[in-house]
Amino acid sequence: MPGSEFLSALAGNLPDRWQDWALLVAALVAALGIIGWVLNLFNERRSSSGGNPPRDLRWNLPAEPDPELEQSEYMPLRDALRRLYAETSDSAMAAFARSGAHGNPDEIIQWYGWWCHEKKLPIYGKRPPSQQYELMPDKEFGRGFFIKGAKEFRRTAARISSYTELVVKKEELKAMWEALKKLDDDIDIPRMP
169 neighbors 74 (Cβ within 8 angstroms): yes
- Apex CA 45: angle with CA 129 and CA 186, to 5°? 90
Put simply, whether the predicted model's pTM sits higher than 0.95 gets the answer: no
Along the 193 residues of the chain, how does pLDDT read in single tens digits? 566 676 567 666 666 665 677 777 888 888 888 888 887 776 666 655 445 444 433 334 345 555 555 677 888 988 888 888 888 888 887 888 888 777 788 888 888 888 888 888 889 999 888 889 998 888 888 888 888 888 888 888 888 888 888 899 888 888 888 887 776 554 455 555 4
Q: Distance from CA of residue 67 to its chain's centroid?
A: 27
Domain-wise residue ranges, the chain: 4-48, 71-188
Q: Which helix (H) or strand (E) holds 31?
A: helix 18-48
* Buried/exposed code over 49-76 (b: 16+ C-beta within 10 A; e: otherwise): eeeeeeeeeeeeeeeeeeeeeeeeebbb
